[in-house]
Amino acid sequence: MTVMTLNDLQIRDKALEPIADKVLAGGRLSFEEGMTLFHTPDFPSLARLANHVREKKVGDKAYYVHSLRLSQTNICYVNCTFCGFQRKFGEEGVWDMDLQDVWDYVDQYYHPDLTEIHISSGHHPKRDWQYYLDLVHGLTTRYPGVQVKAWTAAEIHHFTKITRPRKTYREVLSELKEAGLVAMPGGGAEIFAERVRREVARAKVTAEGWLEVHRTAHELGIPTNATMLYGHIETLEERLDHMMRLRDLQDDTGGFYSFIPLAFQPDNNQLARELNKSEFTTGLDDLRNLAVARIILDNFPHIKGYWIMITPELTQVTLSSGVSDIDGTIKDERIAHASGANTEKGMTEGELLRLIKDAGRTPVLRDALYKELKVYA
């Protein structure tokens, strides 16, 4: 890679110059500098700077995975207001898979190339703890080569509540690891700021609890991701605060692979109704958010563009403004689609490859632990 100078960035917003200087020298940005990134009218320079950070980390590689999304139930009692996925017992559209239902479900999608099964679901009030252990163990033994990346920190918190005597995060995670769990997804983080969390996710794990679950997972050698739900009632300051808290934890543990901003899907949920909102986030908001994340989260290996929520077309563009991972084939996404996502529920490998190659990047097929399985020269 050629060395980039301030001149190459062709900055028009003077306020960006000292920040870019610092980033080019490998320095770390403060909260105030992060806010300048969010507010700059000079988006092209912001994108070039984020691209510089991205290329310094991974060159022109763009990662994807052969994955299946599994939500074994949508029964949930936490009532997050942004969620259109949750159902109560007996409601229309409810599902609740027993273990045999899970095997039958995975059999429909299983292919020898499948690498990752990513599970997230609802907080089910009646399933017992053994069910979850059997689920992970069953998936890993029935489908050799498949890695289970399972349950958000919110669900891990829920699992501690269904055990008697109550297990700790460490006990729950250790038992899941022993059953075969290799990694954890980043959901359930929403926005850490108390003002927003109280409004949109009152009964969910607290911000501190979410961070503690991830800290514990990292200590146990379980790598994880982190998400941030944006585009609803949060401020830009609250988005940045969220990123900074993740950066602090990553400094301590180094256990995060990827940060994934989740654009609010505004249909069929209480929050959208309360806000009388039916618009999706704008493309520029999505791009800016990803670019800021790439620059602020200097200790995260990857920023992920989630095509399910921001469209494949925009995800392709993000590959030039900070993103180095575009998730995967997914096959049957249900959470975003319950809230109006207007994308497909899955993509073929060919489609993912086309997006990446057309963006001028080198596709890298990875596993759930970011091991490179195939680099397309």
Residue that has been written with the tokens 């997230």 in this structure: 120
Among 82, 143, 151, 307, binds ligand V47 (CB under 6 A): 82
User: Is residue 327 a contact residue for ligand V47 (CB under 6 A)?
Assistant: yes
SS3 category, 374? strand
Q: Which is nearer to ligand V47, 225 or 321 (CB)?
A: 225
Closest CB 219 distance from ligand V47, rounded Å: 19
Q: Which is nearer to ligand V47, 29 or 70 (CB)?
A: 70
Total residues in contact with ligand V47, by rule CB under 6 A: 24
Closest CB 15 distance from ligand V47, rounded Å: 31
**Which residues in the 290-309 window bind ligand V47 by CB under 6 A?**
306, 309
Q: Which of 100, 68, 146, 64 is nearest to 333 (CA)?
A: 68
Which residue(s) pair with 189 in the sheet? none
Stretch binding ligand V47 (CB under 6 A), from 125-133, 182-190, 277-285, 289-297? 182-190
Sheet holding 147-150, edge to edge: 67-70, 116-119, 147-150, 181-183
| Sign of the CA dihedral running 355, 356, 361, 362 | negative
User: Is residue 83 a contact residue for ligand V47 (CB under 6 A)?
Assistant: yes
For 90, left (φ over 0), alpha (ψ -120 to 50), or beta?
Answer: left
Query: Can you tell me the distance from the alpha carbon of 120 to that of 186, in angstroms, rounded to the nearest whole number?
Result: 10
Q: Which is nearer to ligand V47, 9 or 335 (CB)?
A: 335
User: Is residue 289 a contact residue for ligand V47 (CB under 6 A)?
Assistant: no
Secondary structure of 132-161 in HEC code, one letter for each residue: HHHHHHHHHHHCCCCEEEECCHHHHHHHHH
Interface characters, 9-48, with ligand V47 (x: CB under 6 A): ----------------------------------------
**Residue nearest to ligand V47 as judged by C-beta position:** 187
Among 152, 281, 329, 343, binds ligand V47 (CB under 6 A): 152
**Which residues in the 99-138 window bind ligand V47 by CB under 6 A?**
120
How wide is the angle at C-alpha 251 spanned by C-alphas 195 and 323, nearest 5°? Answer: 75
Stretch binding ligand V47 (CB under 6 A), from 37-45, 181-189, 191-199, 362-370? 181-189
Contact 258, 302 (CB under 8 A): yes
Query: Can you tell me the distance from the alpha carbon of 351 to that of 329, in angstroms, rounded to the nearest whole number?
Result: 9
Closest CB 257 distance from ligand V47, rounded Å: 8
228 DSSP assignment: E
Q: Which is nearer to ligand V47, 216 or 269 (CB)?
A: 269
Q: Which is nearer to ligand V47, 64 or 82 (CB)?
A: 82
Q: Which is nearer to ligand V47, 175 or 190 (CB)?
A: 190
**Which residues in the 216-235 window bind ligand V47 by CB under 6 A?**
225, 227, 229
* C-alpha of 213 from chain center: 16
Q: Which is nearer to ligand V47, 23 or 249 (CB)?
A: 249
For 143, left (φ over 0), alpha (ψ -120 to 50), or beta?
Answer: beta
| Sign of the CA dihedral running 298, 299, 301, 307 | negative
Q: Which is nearer to ligand V47, 12 or 88 (CB)?
A: 88
Phi, psi of 300, rounded to the nearest 5 degrees? -95, 130
Which residue(s) pair with 225 in the sheet? 258
Among 185, 223, 261, 363, binds ligand V47 (CB under 6 A): 185
User: Is residue 339 a contact residue for ligand V47 (CB under 6 A)?
Assistant: yes
Among 262, 291, 296, 317, binds ligand V47 (CB under 6 A): 262
Q: What is the DSSP string of 269-299?
A: SHHHHHHT--PPPPHHHHHHHHHHHHHH-TT
User: Is residue 265 a contact residue for ligand V47 (CB under 6 A)?
Assistant: yes
Interface characters, 51-80, with ligand V47 (x: CB under 6 A): ------------------------------
- State the residues that interact with ligand V47 by CB under 6 A: 82-84, 120, 152, 185-188, 190, 225, 227, 229, 260, 262, 264-265, 269, 306, 309, 327, 335-336, 339
